[in-house]
Structure 1
Amino acid sequence: MNEPRRSRQVNEALRAKLAANETAYGLWVTSEASAVTEIAGALGLDWICVDMEHGYLDYRAIQGHVTAARGTDLTVLVRPPSQELEPIKRALDVGAHGVIVPLVNTGDEVRAVSQHVYYPPLGRRGIGGERSVTWGLDLTRYVRGANQDLLFVPMIETQTAYDNLDDILSVSEIDAVFLGPADMSASRGAVGEWEGPGVAEINLDILARARERGISAGIVARSTYEAIARRDQGFGMVSLGSDLGLMIRQIGSMTSALGRDNLVHSWF
Structure 2
Amino acid sequence: MTMNANLREKLQKGETAFGLWVTSEEPAVSEVAALLGIDWICVDLEHGYINYKAVAGHLTAAKGSGMSVFVRPPSQDLEAIKRSLDMGAHGIILPLVDSADEVRKAYEHFYYPPLGRRGLGGERSGKWGLGLEEYVANANDELMFVPMIETQKAYDNLDEILDEKVETIFLGPGDMSASRGAVGEWEGPGVAEINLDILRRAKERGVASGIVARSTEEAILRRDQGFGMVSLGSDIGLMIRQIRSMSEALGKTSVGHRWF
CA RMSD of aligned residues (A): 0.7
What displacement does 1:166 show?
0.3
1:1-268 correspondence runs (5 A): 6=1, 8=2, 10-172=3-165, 174-268=166-260
1:116-166 deviation line (CA, Å, top 9, x unaligned): 110000011100010000000000000000000100000000000000000
Q: Percent identity?
A: 68
Is the CA contact 1:252–1:264 (under 8 Å) kept in the aligned structure 2? no
Normalising by the residue count of structure 1, what TM-score does the alignment of the two structures yield?
Answer: 0.96
Amino acid at match of 1:88: I
Q: 2:128, 2:94 → 1: CA distance?
A: 26
CA distance in 2, matches of 1:191, 1:267: 13
Question: Which TM-score applies when normalising by structure 2?
Answer: 0.99
Native 8 Å contact 1:249 1:264 kept in 2: no
Deviation for aligned residue 1:175 = 2.2
- Take 2:177 and 2:149, find their aligned partners in 1: how far apart are those partners? 12
Q: Deviations over 1:51-90 (max 9, x none)?
A: 0000011111001000000121200000000000101010
What secondary structure, in the 3-state scheme, does the structure 1 residue paired with 2:259 have? coil
Deviations 1:221-265 (A, max 9, x none): 000000000000000000000000000111011111111112241
How many aligned positions are there? 260
Q: Secondary structure at the match of 1:123?
A: coil
Q: Which runs of 5+ in 2 are unaligned?
A: none
User: Structure 1 regions of 5+ residues with no counterpart?
Assistant: 1-5
Asked whether the 8 Å contact 1:93–1:131 carries over to 2, the reply is: yes
Structure 1 counterpart of 2:192, one-letter code: A
The answer to whether the 8 A contact 2:167-2:206 is kept is no
The list of structure 1 runs, each at least 4 consecutive aligned residues, that deviate by more than 6 angstroms after superposition, is: none
Indicate conservation of the 8 Å contact 1:28/1:48, yes or no.
yes
Q: Distance in 1 between matches of 2:218 and 2:176?
A: 18
What secondary structure, in the 3-state scheme, does the structure 1 residue paired with 2:15 have?
A: coil
